[in-house]
Amino acid sequence: MVIDRLDENWIEERLRYLMIRALIETVRDFCKVRHAKIIIALRRDLMDRVIGLSRGPGFQEEKYESLYMDLDWSREQLTRILDKRISRLVKQTYTKQAVTHKDLLPERVDGQPAIDYLLDRTLMRPRDVIVFFNACIRCARGKPDITVAMLKEAEGEYSRLRLRSLADEWIADYPHLLRFADLLKGMPASFAVRDVNEDRCLDLAIQLLDAGDEVRGELADVLRGVDNDPERISSFRTWLVAVFYRVGMVGLKLETFEATVWSSSGRRSVSAAEITCSTRVAVHPCFYRSLGINSRAK
């Protein structure tokens, strides 16, 4: 038995997440049943939403940790998935010989192997790799292989699709994510939090305040503080950077001696309180083209 689409708008939001929480509780009870196995596959953001909206007195999230198993994909696994898809696609139409990405993609792009260039611009998920490669195929329609120019053209289409898809994934938490992302347009690939223009942040805050009932939750609390004291605009900027990190749009280098961390490559959470004006922000290459990021500026 498969149950899907539980997080869609089939019932009032809070009740919906309470019912998903009840399903998770039922899984704990069924662990004692030997001949039945229940597997729940949830995106991390949905799990956080369920816990946040159904949290009650005495709730301890760590009691659920033993039920979790993080799923991630290695570069080798994603490459194999792409090669299997390519081989099946080409075999059905053109040849019975095995075909891989090496037969279709250029050897190198900007000095690195083409497959690495492609994977670097994904969030390391099969859907991202497939969407990018499908865009490459569309740009190469009628041609025997995919050139560097075609791959770069496809990257622009793919980057715009991924930004829109990201906004759709997080619309329940951050319905204004695309408007937030405008603050990153034209920025270098890596910059300090202080480099995000406060005047642009203030303009955005004013626009959102004017939206009235459309602003709720965390955002409403942050904007209320700015409305009471415009000098607190830096706290809004910090909150925005924390949001960009959470959704996977940027990585953060919190200390000079630390490596850049990404929410998409682990479970590490970063709160706005940990982010300072000197924190370094790295925009994910996936969004370079859609945000007009200067990838050569650091």
The region of weakest confidence among 52-66, 164-178, 194-208, 210-224 is 52-66
- In this prediction, residues 36-41 reach a mean pLDDT of 79
Contacts of 192 (CB under 8 A, 6+ apart): 277, 278, 279, 280, 281
Q: What is the pLDDT of residues 213-228, one digit of tens each?
A: 667 778 888 888 888 8
- Does the pLDDT of residue 149 top 90, yes or no? yes
32 by Cβ neighbours in 10 Å (0-12 / 13-18 / 19+) ranks as exposed
pLDDT-based confidence at 9, cuts 50/70/90? confident
- Does the pLDDT of residue 181 top 80, yes or no? yes
pLDDT reported for residue 195:
94
- Does the pLDDT of residue 157 top 90, yes or no? yes
The region of weakest confidence among 120-129, 200-209, 261-270 is 261-270
pLDDT reported for residue 189:
94
CB 261 within 8 A of CB 268: yes
pLDDT reported for residue 52:
73
The region of weakest confidence among 69-73, 103-107, 204-208 is 69-73
- Which position has the higher pLDDT, 130 or 232? 130
87: its two tokens: 């081989």
pLDDT reported for residue 72:
85
CB 281 within 8 A of CB 241: yes
- In this prediction, residues 250-279 reach a mean pLDDT of 84
- Does the pLDDT of residue 266 top 70, yes or no? no
pLDDT reported for residue 241:
95
